[in-house]
Amino acid sequence: MFTLSVVVTSVVGLYARLVVGTDIFRQILSRRQQLSRLAKVGMVQALLLVLYPAYQVTFTHVNRTNYELPVLLILPIVRLALKWIFASAASHKADMIPAQVVFTVDFFDSFYTSTFIQTVSPTTLAVMMTVDVIQTATEMHELHKRTQKILIYLKRESGMETNDSDNYLAEIRLLFSNIRTLKHTVQLNLQVRSCIYHQISDESRVLLNSFENRVLAGSGTISYQHSWKMLSNAVIVVPKAHCSGKCWSQHCFHGKVAANPLPINVIPEATRIKSTSKAHMTKKQLTANTSIILNEALETLFTSECLVLSEWMEIAVPVVYGTFVLAMTFFPSAQYHTELAGISRDNIVDVASRIYLYALMELGSLMILAVVAKKTCRISVLHQLAFVMEAQMPFVQSTLVLWILMTLTYRVVHFGR
């Protein structure tokens, strides 16, 4: 698959060279930074095309042996490592990291998992689902703790009125509006403008412009450490150097929401405010803490978006793959597809049922995620899913079509596994 992918990429590159012409092609080559970023992402994708087929070969040799379950349990670790690598390579476009990572790494993971489900034992399948449920429950527990801390801060520190019936996005919008009223500039380490065009209302555009001006008025290279220990009643907020885009990779793991707190010096309550200058310092602390809480709030939304996209991918891919297997069995060319080895018209119903049952269980997992996120975190992950599908539809469609064609049509005896 990797060799054929290199050939296809070379042919596409040569075709693009002939179509755009010499001058435009030279202009493209002159953009070294963009080409370097593209090369990093391409290398990670090439790694997937090598690693997962190699993993399939390993699993085939241990299938229906005592080593079947240990080898399958390596797959979640491989997925987390690849997500971290991919997120680091795509950190220059932070708002596209969830879709880019999920529609690449999670696609391959779900695709090969669907392939393995055809032959694994019921015990192995039960262990896989148990691990997935535990992983999702851990993520939701961590997400719940962070959202609750944010809501408590909004009530206690900012003096903002919150309503338990409101959603999480409404609270963040109130926080945006609150930043506009602060007298001090806001210093944030975030990207205000998205690299994806999306139509917004006039009111939202005015709010975004005002917020952008407030952020740009301060230092663009200074941000604050995102640590909940710094949000006590009175703290010294320590600025840090510009944070690398790799910090976003901590929040795109399907199974990890991390924070790296720094030790800080807490000021005793009795000595908080002794003079006018210290009162002025408290206002600055409020501004800084507001910027911290805003970063935390956006990171929780970032994490929930990664979660719901991963769950959706674990449903869509098995359905597509099961339909492919069910249809291909009735074609004469089925004998050349390596994933259809041992599958005939006599047992296709049982094989397809296992795949669809796995997709159905993942659908149940998505529904539980949606209900729990709404009840405990006040986040509508289904709205987030719909927003990604609407705002990034060209990317989603092209990526899915590319990977589906490559994985379903290249695994034939003509090209190898």
Chain position carrying tokens 């970063």: 295
Is pLDDT at 78 greater than 70 in this prediction? yes
Tokens for 303? Answer: 């994490």
pLDDT at 160: 52
Is pLDDT at 24 greater than 60 in this prediction? yes
CA distances from 189 to 113, 168, 178, 241, 298 (A): 37, 21, 18, 10, 11
Is pLDDT at 267 greater than 80 in this prediction? no
Residue 285 to residue 250: CA distance in whole angstroms: 26
Q: How confident is the model at residue 187 (pLDDT cuts 50, 70, 90)?
A: low
Mean pLDDT of 337-355: 86
Is pLDDT at 270 greater than 60 in this prediction? no
Residue 113 to residue 134: CA distance in whole angstroms: 18
Mean pLDDT of 63-79: 88
Spatial CB neighbours of 57, under 8 Å, sequence gap ≥ 6: 417
Spatial CB neighbours of 225, under 8 Å, sequence gap ≥ 6: 238, 240, 260, 261, 262, 292
> In Å, how far from its chain's centre is CA 287?
29
CB 129 within 8 A of CB 361: yes
Is pLDDT at 276 greater than 70 in this prediction? no
pLDDT at 367: 92
Residue 235 to residue 233: CA distance in whole angstroms: 7
Q: Please list the residues that pair with 224 across neighbouring strands.
A: 239
- DSSP-derived secondary structure for 324-377: HHHHHTTSGGGGGBGGGTT--TTTHHHHHHHHHHHHHHHHHHHHHHHHHIIIII
Q: Which amino acid is at 56?
A: Q
pLDDT at 243: 45
Q: Please list the residues that pair with 239 across neighbouring strands.
A: 224
Alpha helix (H) residue ranges in 217-347: 276-328
pLDDT tens for each residue of 245-260: 445 455 555 444 333 3
Domain limits, the chain = 121-393
For residue 224, the SS3 value is strand
- Choose among 171, 112, 109, 75: nearest CA to 378: 171
pLDDT at 176: 67
Mean pLDDT of 119-143: 85
Is pLDDT at 307 greater than 70 in this prediction? yes
CA distances from 373 to 89, 106, 168, 385 (A): 29, 21, 10, 13
pLDDT tens for each residue of 203-212: 777 777 776 7
Residue 234 to residue 232: CA distance in whole angstroms: 6
Is pLDDT at 171 greater than 90 in this prediction? no
pLDDT at 299: 84
pLDDT at 294: 76
Residue 378 to residue 144: CA distance in whole angstroms: 9
Instruction: Provide, rounded to the nearest whole percent, the portion of the chain with pLDDT above 90.
Output: 13
Is pLDDT at 287 greater than 90 in this prediction? no
Mean pLDDT of 180-195: 59
Mean pLDDT of 387-410: 87
Q: How confident is the model at residue 107 (pLDDT cuts 50, 70, 90)?
A: very high
Q: How confident is the model at residue 5 (pLDDT cuts 50, 70, 90)?
A: low
pLDDT at 4: 61
User: Lowest-pLDDT range, 7-11, 109-113, 182-186?
Assistant: 182-186
pLDDT at 194: 74
Higher pLDDT, 231 or 98: 98
Sign of the alpha-carbon dihedral angle for 229, 93, 244, 178: negative
Alpha helix (H) residue ranges in 157-270: 168-180, 202-216
Tokens for 399? Answer: 């990526």
Mean pLDDT of 329-352: 86
pLDDT at 257: 36
Per the prediction, the chain carries an average pLDDT of 75
Q: Which amino acid is at 366?
A: L
Instruction: Provide, rounded to the nearest whole percent, the portion of the chain with pLDDT above 70.
Output: 71
Q: Which amino acid is at 97?
A: I
pLDDT at 150: 81
Residue 385 to residue 390: CA distance in whole angstroms: 9
Q: How confident is the model at residue 391 (pLDDT cuts 50, 70, 90)?
A: confident
Residue 106 to residue 361: CA distance in whole angstroms: 17
pLDDT tens for each residue of 42-64: 888 888 988 998 898 899 888 88
pTM score, whole prediction:
0.76
Higher pLDDT, 163 or 265: 163
